[in-house]
C-alpha cells in the first residue's frame, strides 16, 4: 500500500466526489438513478481515475517544484480542475497521448487511452490550451477558469498533412510517448502505429520491416533484405507475432518485403531487448503486430496503386456489435515484365508474384466481452517452364516433335488462423484467451525430362524413353512445413491503484517436417538455401510440446515504477527441459521531462536457423534444439529519455546481450547436418534526437555497436556487425499540400567473407634449410571468416507527396526515388571471373576492370510512382 | 565525399533546424567521418591483413620471421607491387617465460634474432608483432623433442640390391631401377602429432662424386612430409603408401658405397597444419600465416648399393 501525502489524498477524494457530482448532474431527474449512478461511477472510476489522479498528483507536485518564479495568469489563490476528451475528428476514436498544455503557466498533461485528460490545481484566470498530437493539426483554444471544475468541449483533432503519409521518412513515425504502461517502463521499446508505418521507405511499397529498419539498433545483412538483426540478434531470434500468433515465415522473396500489409496494422510494439516475461522462446527481440480493431462508425477503406503492386483494405461495422476488416495485396511483377517482354524491352518475363491478405471479424455482444477471429495468408509463387526442342542433325536442321522440358515450380507462404475472447470486468480485470494455428510451408518441384508431342515417331518415343532413363536427371523436390498450434491465456489483475499483476499460461505444439532430395547446394555460394551448406537431401521430423507460465508485477512507487517478472517454460524434447527466466524493468522519473529506464533478464530459445554464410538467404528453416542445450541469452539495457520541450526528444540507450549455445552447421559432406555450438555477445549505444514542428520534422540518430560470435574457439565479427550508423530522417511541408520526405544513412561497412587475396612473404623450408620468396598473386584465406569490410555505405531516399481532398476521398499521388544520387554500394563480392592460370608478374598489373566484375551491385536508382487513397 | 554529402544534406534540411540538431550533426560528423571513412580500425575487420611466417629451427644460427600484408582483392583495385606487401618497421619479439628477444629487420619485412638466441626443445615460444599502424598479432608454439630411433631399428649399415636398365639417348641417361632388397623398417620413439620428413643422405662427400649432379640431394627421401613414425624402406618402392624416391641413384657406376645419415625432421602441428594448408588454417591471432617449430634427429649409416645383373 502506498502512503499518500496530504495533498494527494485530498486530491483523490476530491476527485471521487467530483465524479459523483458530475454523475448527479447528469441524472438529477431521478434520485434512485442518482444513487445507482453514483455508486457505479465510484466503482468504475476508482481504479483508473484514482491512478490517473495519483500520477497527476505526483506530476503536480513536481510541477510545483519546477514552477517557482513562473508567471501566473492570476494570483487569486483559487484553484480549479480542467477535464475533457480528445478525439480524432475523422474517425471519432479517442486520441491517446495527445499533449495538452496551458501555455501561460507551462502546465502539461497527456490524454489517456480513452482520450481523457485532467488538469489539477490550475489557478483561476484566462489561459490558452494547446493540444498537439502526432499526425494531427495543433489545436489552440482560449479557456477561462472561473469555477472549481471546468469541463471543456471535446477537442477534435484534424488529421495533418504532415502526418507522414508519404512513402519515405519520417521523424514522426514513432509514438511520441508510449501510453501503454507496461511498455513505457522498458528502455528500447518503440510503438509504431499505422500512420507511421505507411511513411517508411519501401522498394515496392511501405513495409513494416523496412520501417523498423529505420530505427536505431536495427540493421539488415544487406541492402536488399529486410530481415532484421536487432541489437546483435539474428532474424530467427526475433519473435514475430500477428495478433498474438507466431509467424514463422515473415518475409517474401529474399526478405525484399514483409508479408504484412501496413494498411491492416493498427500498431506494432517493438522491443529491441530486455523484453518482459510475457514473451518467450526467442532471444533477441519482439515484434508484436496488432491488426486494426477499431470502431469506425462508417464504412472506410484505403489502398495503394503503384508500379508493381496494388492493395486494398476495407473495414466497417455492418451491424451493431459487429466489426470486420479485410485486406488484400498482390504484386504484378509477372504481368509487368510480360508486358515489357511483349514490347521487346526485355528478353524474358519474370514469372514471380506474391500476394497476402487478412480477414478479421469481431463480435462484441456485451461491453465486457469481445470475440474475434482472423485468417491471414501469404504466398510467393514462382513458376517457369522452359522447352528446348530437339532438331535433326542435317545441314538444315528440322525441329522434331520432341523437346527437353525444365519445369520449376516454387510456392511458399504462411497460413494463420486465430481466435480470441476478451473479457473485461468493471474493476479493470482483463482476461484474454487466444487460440491460433500458424503454418509456414515451402513446396518446390523441379523436373527435367524429355517429352514428345503428337506426331512423334516410334523411334523418337524410344529415344525419349532411353534418354530419360539413361540421363536420369536428379529433380529437386522439397516439401517443408512448420506448424504451431497454441492456446494462451493472459490476464491483467489490478490489485490496487499502484499495483497490477499480469499473468499468463500457454501451451503449444510445434511440428517440424522437412523433406527434400537432390538439392545439390553449393557451399560458400552467394545464395544459401534452407541453411548453410544444406545437405543434398534431408528428412527431418520433430514434434515439440512447450509449456509456459509467466507472472509480472507492475508496481508504482512515486517516481519509481518497477516491473519484476518471471517466466517458467518447459520445452518438449529439449535437453534441459524446465527453465526459469527472471526478468525485470525499472523506470525512474527524475522530472516530468527526464526518465531513466533499465531492464534485463534471462531468455531461452528452443529453435534456430543456421545461416551465416553466403550473402543472400532463401527459405531458411528452423531446427529444434532437441538433444542439445537450449539457446540462452542474458540482456541488460539502460536508457534515458528527455523532453526539453514538447516538440523535442532526446533518447539514449545502452545495451548488452550475451548469447550461449548458438548453433551453426559444420558444413561437411555428411548426409545430415551436424551443428557446432558457439556463443556470442553484442553491446553498444544509441543516441537519437527528434524534433517535430508544424512545417519541419526530423530525427537524427547515431549508433555505435559491436557484435561478436565465437565458434570453434574462433571469435569473429559476423556479417551483421556494423560499427557505426548515422541516419537523418526529415519531413518538410511545402506549399499547396506537397510534402517532401528524405532519409539519408551513412554506415560503416558490414563484415563479410573476402574471396581472394594477394600477398608476398618469405617462407622457410626446414628440409632444405632455405628461404623461398613466395608471391601469392591470388589465393584464398578461408579461415579469415568475415574478416573483410564492405566500404562505407551511404544512400539517400526521397519522396514527394501531394495530398488532394475531394469530398470524403483523400488522394495522395507520390513520387518515390530510392538511392537518389546513385551510390554504388556493393551487395556482395563474388568470383565472377576465371582467375586460374594467372601468374603475378613483377610489374603491377591494373586489374580494375576485372575486379569490378566481382561486385554484385546493391540497390540502383529506383524511381517509382503511384497513389494512395482513402475513403 | 561522405562528409561533404552529409554537410550538404544538413544544410538542405536546416530550414528551421534547431541548435541541438546542428550540434548533434556536427559532433557526429566529426566523430563518424574520422572513424568510419578512414577504414574503421576499431572494427577488427579490414581489407588489409597482416601475416607472419616463422619457424624455430635449432639447426639455424639466427631465427627469422617474415611479416607481410595480404590485400583483399575484392575491394582493392588491381594487384599492387609485391614489394609493397612487405611490412617494414614492425616490432617483433620472441619471448619465453623469462626471456624476451627483440628481432631486428635486416631486409624489408624480414626480421631475425641475434646469434645468442637458442632454441630449446620443449620450450614454448610466443611471438608478438606490432606493425606500424598499430595492429598486433601473436602466436605461440612449442619446440618438439626430437624423436629417437628405436633400438631395434638401429643399424650401422644397410645394403640395397637393385637391378637397373640404363639407356643413353641424346646425352641423357634414363634409369629404370628396381630394388630387390628385403624391406628395412625404421621405428621412432618419442613421436607426437605433427609431420615428419625422412631421408638418408650423404653428409660427407660422395665417394663417387663424379656420379652426383647435386650433392645436396638426399639418396632416399619421403616425397614430402608424412605423419607416421614407422617407415619401411625398400618395400616395393613405397614408404607407407607414399612414393619412395631415390634421387641420387643414377648408377653410372654399378656398385658404390657411401657414408650417409639417417635423418628425421619433426615438425610440430603449428607448422605442419598451417603451412601445409595456409588457406584454411592459421595459428596467428589477428592475422594469417604460421608460427611453428621443428627438430631433428640424425644417425650415421653406411649404405652399399649393389647392382644385381639378372
Check CB contact under 8 Å for B32 and A724.
Answer: yes
Which residues in A lie closer than 8 A to residue B46 (C-beta atoms)?
787-789
CB contact (8 A) between residue B72 and residue A796: no
Phi, psi for residue A47 in degrees, rounded to 5: -65, -60
CB A751 within 8 A of CB B43: yes
Cell of B201: 643422405
Distance between A832 CA and the closest CA of chain B, angstroms:
11
Do A748 and B265 make contact, defined as CB atoms within 8 angstroms?
no
3-state secondary structure of A652: strand
pLDDT-derived band at A452, boundaries 50, 70, 90: confident
Mean pLDDT of the region A606-621: 84
Residue A662 pLDDT exceeds 70: yes
Interface test with B, best of A746, A796, A841 (most B CBs within 10 A): A746
Torsion of CA A232, A235, A236, A237, to 10 degrees: 40
Q: Where does the pLDDT of residue B214 fall: very low under 50, low under 70, confident under 90, or very high at 90 and above?
A: very low
The DSSP code for A174 is: B
- pLDDT for the residue A61: 37
B93 C-beta neighbours (distance < 10 Å), count: 16
Task: Residue A186: name the closest of A636, A589, A591, A587 by CA.
Answer: A587
- Chain A: closest CA distance from residue B310 (Å): 37
Helix H, strand E, coil C: the string for A567-621 is EEEEECCECCCEEEEEEEEEEEECCCCEEEEEEEEEEEECEECCCCCCCEEECCC
Is B16–A693 a contact, with Cβ atoms under 8 angstroms apart?
yes
Short-list A663, A731, A789, CA closest to A196: A731
- The grid coordinates of residue A43 equal 466503482
Assess whether pLDDT exceeds 60 at residue B293. Answer: yes
CB contact under 8 A, A762 and B43: no
Determine the Cα–Cα distance for residues A532 and A678; give it in Å rounded to an integer.
Answer: 15
Residue A355 is predicted with a pLDDT of 92
Length, in residues, of chain A: 871
Minimal Cβ distance to B13: which of A728, A790, A855: A728
Q: Supply A533's cell numbers.
A: 551448406
- Answer whether A228's CB lies under 8 Å from A235's CB: yes
* Greatest mean pLDDT among A200-204, A249-253, A356-360: A356-360
Indicate the pLDDT class of residue A238, thresholds 50, 70 and 90. Answer: very high
Please tell me which of the candidates B36, B278, B288 has its beta carbon nearest to residue A748: B36
Please name which of A706, A696, A619 lies closest in space to residue A657, comparing C-alpha atoms. A706
Least confident stretch, A108-117, A590-599, A662-671, B57-66: A108-117
pLDDT of the residue at A240 = 95
Report the C-alpha gap between B78 and A484 in whole angstroms.
53
Q: Find the mean pLDDT for residues A503-524.
A: 85
Provide the pairing of β-strand B220-222 with A560-571.
Answer: unpaired
Highest average pLDDT, of A215-219, A284-288, A426-430, comes from A284-288
Asked whether A95 and A138 are in contact (CB, 8 A), the reply is no
- Residues A79-107: what's their mean pLDDT? 79
Query: What are the pLDDT digits (tens) for A543-553?
Result: 999 999 999 99
Residue of A nearest to B216 (CA): A768
Q: Is the pLDDT of residue B110 over 90?
A: yes
Rounded to 5 degrees, φ, ψ at A676 are -85, 150
What DSSP state is assigned to residue A41? Answer: H
Q: What is the pLDDT of residue A830?
A: 67
Place of cell 516538440: A647
pLDDT for A202 beyond 70: no
Please give the grid coordinates belonging to residue A622.
Answer: 528452423
Q: Note the ipTM here.
A: 0.79
Poorest-pLDDT segment among A80-84, B35-39, B86-90: B35-39
Taking the CA of residue B123 and the nearest CA in chain A, the distance in Å comes to 19
Are B32 and A700 a contacting pair at CB < 8 A? no
Residue A255, phi then psi, degrees to nearest 5: 75, 15
The beta-carbon neighbor of A847 closest among B21, B60, B79 is B79
DSSP state of A137: -
CA distance A381 to B234: 67
How many contacts does A have with B, using Cβ atoms within 8 A? 219
Give A236: exposed, middle or buried? Use CB within 10 Å, 0-12, 13-18, 19+.
Answer: buried
Judging by DSSP bridges, how do beta strands A79-88 and A149-151 pair with one another?
A: parallel
- The mean-pLDDT minimum among A487-491, A772-776, B142-146, B301-305 falls in A772-776
Contacts of A771 in chain B (CB under 8 A): 64
- Rounded to a whole number, what is the distance in Å from the CA of B122 to chain A's nearest CA? 18
Task: Please answer yes or no on whether A779 and B279 come within 8 Å at the CB atom.
Answer: yes
Closest-approach residue (CA) in chain A for B3: A746
- Residues in chain B with CB shorter than 8 Å from the CB of A853 are none
B25 and A700: CB-CB below 8 Å? yes
Answer whether A644 sits within 8 Å of B20, measured CB to CB: yes
Residue in B4, B26, B73 to test binding to A, most A beta-carbons within 10 Å: B73
Highest mean pLDDT among A77-86, A98-107, A485-494, B154-163: A485-494
Residues B197, B264 contacting (CB under 8 angstroms): yes
Q: A452 has which bridge partners?
A: A402
Chain B's closest residue to A740, CA to CA, is B13
CA distance B98 to chain A (A): 27
Task: Tell me the average pLDDT across A585-609.
Answer: 91
- The residue ranking higher by pLDDT, A435 or A126, is A435
Substitution target in B7, B8, B29, B44 with the highest count of A β-carbons within 10 Å is: B44
Q: Do A759 and B71 touch (CB under 8 A)?
A: yes
Flag if A767 and B197 touch (Cβ within 8 Å): yes
> A289 falls in which pLDDT band (50, 70, 90)?
very high
Residue B38 contacts A where some CB pair is shorter than 8 Å? no
Pairing state between β A285-291 and A238-242: parallel
Q: Which residue of B has its CA nearest to A826?
A: B75
Q: How far is B257 from chain A (nearest CA, A)?
A: 24
> Residues 79 to 118 of B: which have CB under 8 A from any A CB?
79-83, 85-86, 109-110
pTM of the entire structure?
Answer: 0.73
Confidence of residue A48 (pLDDT cuts 50, 70, 90): very low
The shortest C-alpha distance from A758 to chain B (Å) reads: 5
A823-859 burial: b if 16+ Cβ within 10 Å, else e: bebbbbbbeeeeeeeeeeeeeeeebeebbeebbeebb
Among A157-171, A353-367, A519-533, whose mean pLDDT is lowest?
Answer: A157-171
In terms of Cβ atoms closer than 10 Å to its own Cβ (0-12, 13-18, 19+), residue A376 is: buried
Q: What is the pLDDT of residue A66?
A: 37
Closest Cβ–Cβ partner in A761, A777, A779 for B79: A777
**Residues in chain B within 8 Å Cβ distance of A786:** 45
| Residue in chain A lying closest to B268 (CA) | A766
Alpha-carbon distance A92 to A300, whole Å? 13
> If you compute the radius of gyration of chain B from its CA atoms, what whole number of angstroms results?
29
Distance CA B75, CA B87 (A): 20
pLDDT score for A457? 85
Q: Angle, nearest 10°, between helix axes A31-66 and A6-26?
A: 140
* Residues 5 through 34 of chain B touching chain A, CB cutoff 8 Å: 5-6, 9-10, 12-13, 15-18, 20-21, 24-25, 28, 32
Half-sphere exposure of A400 (CA within 13 A, CB side): 21
Q: How far apart are CA B194 and CA A496, in angstroms?
A: 72
Mutate to test the interface with A, among B61, B72, B282, B293 (most CBs of A within 10 A): B72
Chain centroid to Cα A2, Å, comes to: 38
Residue A501: beta bridge partners? A493, A553
The overall average pLDDT reported for chain A is: 79
Q: How far is CA A477 from CA A480, A482, A537, in A?
A: 10, 17, 9
pLDDT exceeds cutoff 70 at B15:
no
**Which triple of cell numbers denotes residue A396?**
538444315
Cβ B17–A755 below 8 Å, yes or no? Answer: no
Residues of A in contact with B271 (CB under 8 A): 766
Q: Check B288 against A748: CB less than 8 A apart.
A: no
Full DSSP string of B92-135: EEEE-SS-EEE-EEEETTEEE--TT----TT-EEEEEEE-TTS-
User: DSSP 3-state assignment of A6?
Assistant: helix
- For residue A161, what pLDDT band results from cuts at 50, 70 and 90? very low
Banded pLDDT at A825 (limits 50, 70, 90): confident
Residue B247 has pLDDT above 80, yes or no: no
> What confidence score (pLDDT) does residue A6 get?
35
User: Taking a C-beta distance cutoff of 8 angstroms, is the pair A699, A687 a contact?
Assistant: no
A265 forms bridges with which residues in the sheet?
A291
**CA gap A264, A811 in Å, rounded:** 18
Subunit contact A844:B80, Cβ cutoff 8 A: yes
Q: How far apart are CA A415 and CA A405, in angstroms?
A: 32
What are the strands, taking DSSP E only, across A464-498? 477-496
Q: Work out the minimum CA distance from A667 to partner chain B, whole angstroms.
A: 14
Taking only the tens place, the pLDDT of each residue in A734-784 is: 998 898 888 899 988 888 888 778 888 888 888 778 888 777 767 778 777
| pLDDT (0 to 100) of residue A300 | 87
Segment B145-192, tens digit of pLDDT: 887 778 877 888 888 777 766 666 666 656 566 667 777 777 777 666
First to last CA, chain A: 50
Using CB atoms, pick whichever of A644, A650, A763 lies closest to residue B53: A763
Count, residues in chain B: 310
Q: What pLDDT does residue A474 have?
A: 65
Is residue B126 within 8 A of residue B138, CB to CB? The reply is: yes
Are A792 and B45 inside 8 Å of each other by CB?
Answer: no
Model confidence band, residue B245 (pLDDT cutoffs 50, 70, 90) = low
Sheet (strand A285-291) strand order: A189-193, A265-271, A285-291, A238-242, A245-246
Instruction: Write out chain B residues lying below 8 Å of A847, CB-based.
Output: 73, 77-79
- A431 — pLDDT class (breaks 50, 70, 90): very high
**Cis omega (within 30 of 0) for bond into A200:** no
Longest Cα–Cα distance of chain A, Å, equals 114
| Beta strands across the sheet bearing B184-189 | B148-149, B184-189, B230-233
Distance CA A623, CA A612 (A): 15
Which residues of chain A have a CB within 8 Å of the CB of B267? Answer: 766
Q: How confident is the model at residue B100 (pLDDT cuts 50, 70, 90)?
A: very high
CB atoms A748 and B79 under 8 Å = no
In this complex, is the C-beta atom of B37 within 8 Å of any C-beta atom belonging to chain A?
yes
- Put simply, the chain B residues between 219 and 258 with a CB less than 8 A from any chain A CB are none
- Which of helix, strand or coil describes residue A162? coil
pLDDT-based confidence at residue A204 (cuts at 50, 70, 90): low
Task: Name residue, grid cell 489483475.
Answer: A493
Q: Chain B residue with minimal CA distance to A778?
A: B73
Q: Which residue of A has its CA nearest to B22?
A: A700
In DSSP terms, A443 is beta-bridged to: A411, A479
d(CA A387, CA A450): 9
Amino acid at each position: 500500500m502506498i502512503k499518500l501525502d496530504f495533498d494527494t489524498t485530498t486530491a483523490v477524494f476530491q476527485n471521487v466526489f467530483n465524479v459523483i457530482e458530475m454523475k448527479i448532474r447528469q441524472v438529477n431527474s431521478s434520485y434512485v438513478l442518482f444513487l445507482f449512478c453514483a455508486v457505479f461511477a465510484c466503482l468504475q472510476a476508482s481504479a483508473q481515475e484514482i491512478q490517473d489522479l495519483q500520477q497527476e498528483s505526483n506530476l503536480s507536485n513536481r510541477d510545483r517544484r519546477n514552477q517557482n518564479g513562473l508567471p501566473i495568469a492570476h494570483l487569486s489563490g483559487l484553484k480549479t480542475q480542467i477535464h475533457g476528451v480528445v478525439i480524432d475528428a475523422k474517425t471519432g476514436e479517442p486520441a491517446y497521448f495527445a499533449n495538452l498544455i496551458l501555455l501561460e503557466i507551462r502546465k502539461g498533461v497527456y490524454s489517456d487511452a480513452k482520450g481523457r485528460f485532467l488538469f489539477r490545481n490550475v489557478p483561476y484566470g484566462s489561459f490558452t490550451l494547446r493540444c498537439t498530437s502526432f499526425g494531427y493539426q495543433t489545436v489552440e483554444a482560449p479557456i477561462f477558469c472561473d469555477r472549481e471544475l471546468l469541463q471543456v468541449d471535446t477537442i477534435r483533432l484534424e488529421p495533418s498533412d504532415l502526418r507522414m503519409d508519404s512513402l519515405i521518412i519520417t521523424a514522426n513515425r514513432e509514438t511520441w510517448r508510449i501510453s501503454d504502461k507496461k511498455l513505457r517502463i522498458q528502455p528500447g521499446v518503440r510503438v509504431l502505429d499505422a500512420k507511421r508505418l505507411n511513411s517508411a521507405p519501401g522498394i515496392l511499397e511501405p513495409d513494416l520491416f523496412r520501417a523498423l529498419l529505420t530505427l536505431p539498433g536495427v540493421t539488415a545483412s544487406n541492402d536488399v533484405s529486410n530481415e532484421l538483426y536487432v541489437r546483435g540478434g539474428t532474424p530467427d531470434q526475433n519473435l514475430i507475432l500477428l495478433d498474438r500468433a507466431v509467424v514463422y515465415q515473415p518475409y517474401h522473396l529474399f526478405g525484399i518485403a514483409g508479408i504484412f500489409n501496413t494498411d491492416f496494422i493498427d500498431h506494432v510494439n517493438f522491443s529491441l531487448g530486455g523484453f518482459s516475461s510475457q514473451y518467450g522462446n526467442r532471444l533477441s527481440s519482439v515484434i508484436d503486430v496488432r491488426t486494426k480493431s477499431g470502431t469506425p462508425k462508417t464504412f472506410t477503406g484505403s489502398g495503394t496503386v503503384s508500379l508493381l503492386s496494388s492493395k486494398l483494405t476495407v473495414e466497417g461495422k455492418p451491424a451493431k456489435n459487429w466489426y470486420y476488416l479485410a485486406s488484400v495485396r498482390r504484386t504484378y511483377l509477372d504481368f509487368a515484365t510480360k508486358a515489357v517482354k511483349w514490347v521487346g524491352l526485355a528478353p524474358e518475363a519474370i514469372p514471380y508474384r506474391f500476394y497476402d491478405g487478412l480477414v478479421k471479424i469481431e463480435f462484441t455482444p456485451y461491453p465486457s466481452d469481445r470475440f474475434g477471429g482472423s485468417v491471414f495468408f501469404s504466398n510467393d509463387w514462382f513458376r517457369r517452364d522452359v522447352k528446348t526442342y530437339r532438331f535433326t542433325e542435317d545441314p538444315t536442321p528440322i525441329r522434331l516433335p520432341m523437346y527437353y522440358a525444365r519445369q520449376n515450380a516454387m510456392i511458399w507462404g504462411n497460413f494463420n488462423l486465430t481466435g480470441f475472447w476478451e473479457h473485461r470486468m468493471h474493476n479493470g480485470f482483463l482476461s484474454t484467451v487466444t487460440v491460433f494455428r500458424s503454418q509456414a510451408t515451402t513446396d518446390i518441384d523441379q523436373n527435367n525430362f524429355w517429352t514428345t508431342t503428337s506426331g512423334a515417331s516410334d523411334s523418337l518415343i524410344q529415344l525419349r524413353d532411353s534418354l530419360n532413363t539413361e540421363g536420369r536427371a536428379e529433380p529437386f523436390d522439397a516439401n517443408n512445413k512448420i506448424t504451431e498450434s497454441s492456446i494462451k491465456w493472459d490476464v491483467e489483475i489490478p490489485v490496487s491503484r499502484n499495483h497490477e499483476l499480469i499473468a499468463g499460461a500457454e501451451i503449444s505444439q510445434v511440428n517440424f517436417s522437412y523433406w527434400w532430395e537432390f538439392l545439390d547446394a553449393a557451399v560458400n555460394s552467394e545464395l544459401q538455401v534452407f541453411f548453410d551448406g544444406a545437405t543434398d537431401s534431408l528428412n527431418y521430423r520433430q514434434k515439440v510440446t512447450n509449456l509456459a507460465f509467466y507472472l509480472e508485477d507492475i508496481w508504482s512507487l512515486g517516481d519509481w515504477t518497477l516491473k519484476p517478472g518471471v517466466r517458467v517454460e518447459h520445452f518438449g524434447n529439449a535437453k534441459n527441459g524446465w527453465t526459469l527466466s527472471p526478468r525485470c524493468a525499472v523506470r525512474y522519473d527524475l522530472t516530468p521531462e527526464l526518465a531513466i529506464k533499465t531492464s534485463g533478464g534471462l531468455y531461452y530459445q528452443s529453435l534456430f536457423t543456421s545461416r551465416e554464410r553466403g550473402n543472400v538467404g532463401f527459405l531458411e528453416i528452423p531446427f529444434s534444439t532437441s538433444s542439445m542445450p537450449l539457446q540462452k541469452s542474458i540482456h541488460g539495457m539502460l536508457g534515458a529519455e528527455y523532453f526539453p520541450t514538447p516538440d523535442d526528444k532526446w533518447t539514449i540507450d545502452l545495451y548488452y546481450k550475451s548469447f550461449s549455445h548458438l548453433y551453426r552447421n559444420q558444413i561437411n559432406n555428411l548426409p545430415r547436418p551436424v551443428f557446432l555450438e558457439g556463443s556470442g555477445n553484442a553491446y553498444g549505444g544509441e543516441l537519437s534526437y527528434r524534433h517535430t514542428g508544424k512545417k519541419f520534422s526530423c530525427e537524427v540518430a547515431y549508433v555505435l555497436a559491436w557484435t561478436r560470435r565465437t565458434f570453434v574457439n574462433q571469435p569473429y565479427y559476423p556479417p551483421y556487425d556494423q560499427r557505426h550508423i548515422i541516419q537523418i530522417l526529415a519531413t518538410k511541408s511545402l506549399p499547396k499540400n506537397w510534402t517532401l520526405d528524405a532519409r539519408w544513412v551513412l554506415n560503416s561497412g558490414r563484415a563479410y567473407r573476402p574471396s581472394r587475396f594477394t600477398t608476398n612473404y618469405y617462407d622457410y623450408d626446414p628440409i632444405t634449410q632455405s628461404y623461398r620468396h613466395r608471391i601469392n598473386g591470388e589465393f584464398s584465406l578461408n579461415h579469415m571468416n568475415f574478416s573483410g569490410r564492405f566500404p562505407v555505405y551511404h544512400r539517400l531516399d526521397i519522396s514527394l507527396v501531394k495530398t488532394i481532398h475531394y469530398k470524403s476521398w483523400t488522394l495522395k499521388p507520390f513520387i518515390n526515388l530510392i538511392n537518389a544520387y546513385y551510390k554504388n554500394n556493393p551487395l556482395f563480392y563474388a568470383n565472377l571471373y576465371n582467375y586460374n592460370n594467372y601468374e603475378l608478374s613483377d610489374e603491377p598489373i591494373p586489374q580494375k576492370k576485372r575486379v569490378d566484375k566481382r561486385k554484385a551491385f546493391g540497390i540502383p536508382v529506383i524511381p517509382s510512382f503511384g497513389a494512395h487513397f482513402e475513403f | 565525399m561522405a562528409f561533404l554529402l552529409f554537410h550538404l544534406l544538413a544544410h538542405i534540411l536546416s530550414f528551421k533546424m534547431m541548435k541541438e540538431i546542428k550540434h548533434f550533426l556536427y559532433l557526429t560528423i566529426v566523430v563518424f567521418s574520422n572513424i568510419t571513412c578512414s577504414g574503421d580500425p576499431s572494427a577488427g575487420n579490414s581489407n588489409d591483413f597482416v601475416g607472419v611466417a616463422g619457424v624455430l629451427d635449432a639447426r639455424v644460427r639466427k631465427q627469422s620471421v617474415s611479416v607481410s600484408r595480404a590485400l583483399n582483392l575484392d575491394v582493392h583495385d588491381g594487384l599492387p607491387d609485391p614489394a609493397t606487401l612487405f611490412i617494414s618497421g614492425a616490432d617483433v619479439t620472441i619471448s619465453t617465460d623469462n626471456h624476451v628477444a627483440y628481432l631486428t629487420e635486416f631486409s624489408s619485412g624480414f626480421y631475425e634474432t641475434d646469434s645468442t638466441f637458442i632454441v630449446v626443445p620443449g620450450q614454448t615460444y610466443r611471438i608478438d608483432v606490432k606493425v606500424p599502424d598499430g595492429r598486433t598479432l601473436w602466436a605461440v608454439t612449442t619446440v618438439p623433442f626430437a624423436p629417437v630411433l628405436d633400438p631395434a631399428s638401429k643399424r650401422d649399415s644397410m645394403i640395397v640390391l637393385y637391378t637397373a636398365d640404363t639407356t643413353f639417348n641424346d646425352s641423357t641417361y634414363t634409369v629404370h631401377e628396381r630394388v630387390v632388397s628385403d624391406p628395412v623398417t625404421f621405428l621412432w620413439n618419442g613421436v607426437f602429432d605433427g609431420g615428419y620428413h625422412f631421408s638418408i643422405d650423404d653428409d660427407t662427400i660422395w665417394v663417387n662424386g663424379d656420379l652426383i649432379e647435386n650433392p645436396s640431394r638426399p639418396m632416399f627421401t619421403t616425397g614430402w612430409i608424412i605423419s607416421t613414425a614407422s617407415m619401411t624402406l625398400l618395400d616395393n618402392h613405397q614408404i607407407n603408401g607414399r612414393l619412395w624416391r631415390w634421387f641420387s641413384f643414377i648408377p653410372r657406376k654399378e656398385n658404390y658405397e657411401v657414408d650417409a645419415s639417417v635423418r628425421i625432421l619433426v615438425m610440430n602441428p603449428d607448422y605442419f597444419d598451417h603451412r601445409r594448408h595456409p588457406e584454411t588454417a592459421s595459428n596467428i591471432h589477428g592475422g594469417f600465416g604460421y608460427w611453428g617449430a621443428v627438430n631433428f634427429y640424425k644417425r650415421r649409416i653406411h649404405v652399399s648399393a649393389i647392382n644385381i645383373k639378372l
